[in-house]
Structure 1
Amino acid sequence: MLRKVSRHPERLEIPKAATRTNRVIYASNHRSHMDYLVELLVLDENGIRPPVIAAGINLFNGAMGLLNRHVTGAIPIRRNSRDPAYLATLRGYVAEIVHRRDLFLYLEGGRSYSGEFKSLKTGLLQAVVHARHPDAVIVPVTIAYDLVLEDQTLARQGVKRRQRPFSAEVAEMVRYAVGYESRAFVTFSQPLPLATVDPESRRDLVMLMRRTRDAIGKAYKVLPTALLAAALRPSMPRRALEDRIDALLDTLRLVDANLGVESGRDAVDQATGPLVSRGIIVVEGDRYRVRDRLLLRYYGRALSHLLHDRGRSKRTH
């Protein structure tokens, strides 16, 4: 499946410089189960010191569990645990790791089932701050795909109701990988120092979380598929669709978004093939029609935080 995803790193000079002088805690958005592989491969392929990754406990079953325990060295996280003893132990364990290794975190707590960029959870971030490492910095990381491998599963489930075995999710990913190809853009943002953050101050923690989320969100690569999905109505002629995308691009330029395309025409040219092949839209002559409304909304919502930040979507897990 990895061969179907071409990796496009941006601003690699940031993690290269940060790892020379700092303890680095990477904080990324979470779009797909492919994220763990794509982002860490980007670091490895460019000679950047490898971090330890924090992963959900569901990724420690079966063959994937063996890989995480004995190869990647990932930390299993029980995301929804309220057990005080477990949380205290986890905080101490994370603090110990921060003093020894770089760390890679997904602070949304899981993939978004709506397509939107979720609000961040503070638990692991608080544990990192409590480590009080004098040279620790957060390096925000943003990943964006033309197409998300498990898009159909995510969009149709809508809200996560229970933890599914990872083996079942892998089986679905293999099925959806037929004919799948995508680019993955991995963008790094400027480090956020932790030395001045008071681990006992709720205000400091909230401000750090907001700064981290803002940095991740602003760096999100605005790709043609998301633009077309955000602009398309049930049925539109191509010219009207291009005009709507041009209007979206004008709005995105005002917030200095990380644009992957400069015009509505180019966006439609590049996005039509992937969205048609994925069964999301149908093109009849000069007219574009929606075929799968749920999937179209899933991709369109990827830009919500840039166009009008809803930030607190209920359709997440």
Structure 2
Amino acid sequence: MISKHGWWLLAAAGLVVLILLRRILRRALRRWSWRHALRTRRELGFRLNPVTVTRKQRLKLDLLADPELRTRIAEQAATSGRDEASLLADVSLYLDEIIPNFNLITTYTFGKSLAGWLLRTCYRVRIGRSAEAALNRIPRDASVVYVMNHRSNADYLLVAFLLANRVSISYAVGEWARVWPLERLFRSFGSFFVRRRFRDPLYHAVLERYVQRAVAQGTTQGIFIEGGLSRDGRLQAPKLGLLDYMLRAGAKDLVFIPVGINYDRVVEDSNLVRESLGKPRRSPLALIRRTSLWLLGLVWRGATRRFHRFGYAVVNFGQPIHARAALEGADLRALDWEARKPLLEAFADSLARAVGEEVPITPVAAVAWTYRSMDDPAPGRAQLRDHLLEVFAAAQARGLPLYLPRGSYQRAFDVGLRVLLLRRILVLEDGHLVLPPHKAPLLDYYAHGVDHLLEKIRTH
């Protein structure tokens, strides 16, 4: 019979064995992950971002020792009366929040496949047009920034997926994604988080130095020129913050690529329109309930083979804009805020216009805009089609970014109208297409997205 002391010895021995097994398994898993990551990296065929592949702790220590950031801490201590140690602790927390935790396996082994499956399940994903020749001439040592309009939270996945075989993008992500599991997922993809309405100057100093280091080291980044989702569908005024940081990073060659994004259906459209009308935001619980019911509905329609994809998701890549040439050689680092603000605003406006010129005119957007531009409040199907074909011809003649499925006007009309009828945004009554009053803001949302382009047809 085993004595009491014997049981204690067995328990201790078992604990030691468990600890050893845990260490062995962790080491084996780490070795497998490292080998798999190296193989994945060799298979990619392009250079990964220097900042995103740097270990998070090493990058954090480098930034904590950054001379300019240390100077900002000393200035903040002098003006606020707080000691530098407590401010340094704040900086450490901010860095933990901002710096990504890139995972090569998550991004290129699982993430790319999952993103492709999700996007292709919901949309017909297409690149509408791309300035390939100009894009291929961008120097390899240039710092590249993809500048996009922000149509949906799916933009992150869509552009990253379409560029996955060419480059990895580090996105600036808003606070909305700082929930489990999105936060961990976005960090593993190399994205960094931004507090958009946080006023602490020390936070902005930390963010500025991180962004500038990323740009100076050639990290390919993606930013949304509007700074947030459009609530009414129209392009919003450009934000200056991240642009200001990037233009003062001292990059050898900073290149901005305008990217236009549009969807036949934006999954958040009803919530965005609701906010644009001044209605109160739904509570998190209500959003979770509504989203869950919507997803269950999609699953049910898929199981019963009644699921229809949302239409087209289209991305256009425009002509690259070299910052140095656009600014005519002006060095913003040598200017204070008041002196550089006019230059910055002019550059941001030119970028926003370039992005706007690339927004695809998708079938739903074209049908919505044409319907709202007609004098007849309830046109027939043939009447709407004839008017739309005239719009298509005029848009093509002006070189507007029109997306035509299979190159067909008729196909574009059929796809656009079908999506609107399936969603009951338009209703067919006695041969006439009727817009229910409560659906008018939703139709306008899609029309507004291309209004800045198609207005050129109306005025000429």
What SS does the corresponding residue of 2:168 show, helix, strand or coil?
coil
After superposition, residues 43-62 of structure 1 pair within 5 angstroms as 43-44=163-164, 47-62=165-180
Q: How many residues align?
A: 306
Q: 1:228 aligns with which of 364, 367, 390?
A: 367
2:314·2:362 contact (CA, 8 Å) conserved in 1? Answer: no
Percentage of pairs with the same residue:
28
After superposition, residues 1-317 of structure 1 pair within 5 angstroms as 1-2=118-119, 3-9=121-127, 10-11=129-130, 13=132, 14-18=134-138, 20-44=140-164, 47-69=165-187, 71-100=188-217, 101-158=219-276, 168=287, 172=291, 175=294, 178=298, 179=307, 180-196=309-325, 197=327, 198-199=331-332, 200=335, 201-233=340-372, 234-249=377-392, 252-253=395-396, 255-261=398-404, 265-284=410-429, 286-291=431-436, 292-308=439-455
How far apart are residue 146 of structure 1 and its match? 1.4
2:131·2:318 contact (CA, 8 Å) conserved in 1? Answer: no
Question: Could you say which structure has the higher helix fraction?
Answer: 2
Question: Cα–Cα, structure 1 residues 113 and 83, in superposed 2: closer, same or farther, change >3 Å?
Answer: same
Question: Cα–Cα, structure 1 residues 42 and 273, in superposed 2: closer, same or farther, change >3 Å?
Answer: same
Unaligned runs of at least 5 residues, structure 1:
310-317
Higher CA-based Rg: 2
Read off the aligned partner of 1:279 and give its amino acid letter. Answer: R
Cross-structure match for 2:85: none
Greater alpha carbon shift after TM alignment, 256-265 vs 123-132: 256-265
TM-score by length of 1: 0.86
Question: Cα–Cα, structure 1 residues 116 and 174, in superposed 2: closer, same or farther, change >3 Å?
Answer: farther
What SS does the corresponding residue of 2:176 show, helix, strand or coil?
helix
Q: Show CA shifts across 1:111-148 (max 9, x none).
A: 11101111211111111101120111001111111111
Question: Cα–Cα, structure 1 residues 40 and 53, in superposed 2: closer, same or farther, change >3 Å?
Answer: same
TM-score by length of 2: 0.60
Question: Cα–Cα, structure 1 residues 79 and 166, in superposed 2: closer, same or farther, change >3 Å?
Answer: farther
1:223·1:259 contact (CA, 8 Å) conserved in 2? Answer: yes
Taking the aligned partners of 1:105 and 1:166, their CA distance within structure 2 comes to: 30
Unaligned runs of at least 5 residues, structure 2:
1-117, 299-306
Cross-structure match for 1:314: none
Question: Could you say which structure has the higher strand fraction?
Answer: 1
How far apart are residue 184 of structure 1 and its match? 1.2
How far apart are residue 239 of structure 1 and its match? 3.3
How far apart are residue 73 of structure 1 and its match? 2.3
Higher relative contact order (CA 8 A, sep 6+): 1
What SS does the corresponding residue of 2:238 show, helix, strand or coil?
coil
Greater alpha carbon shift after TM alignment, 101-110 vs 228-237: 228-237
Question: Cα–Cα, structure 1 residues 163 and 255, in superposed 2: closer, same or farther, change >3 Å?
Answer: farther
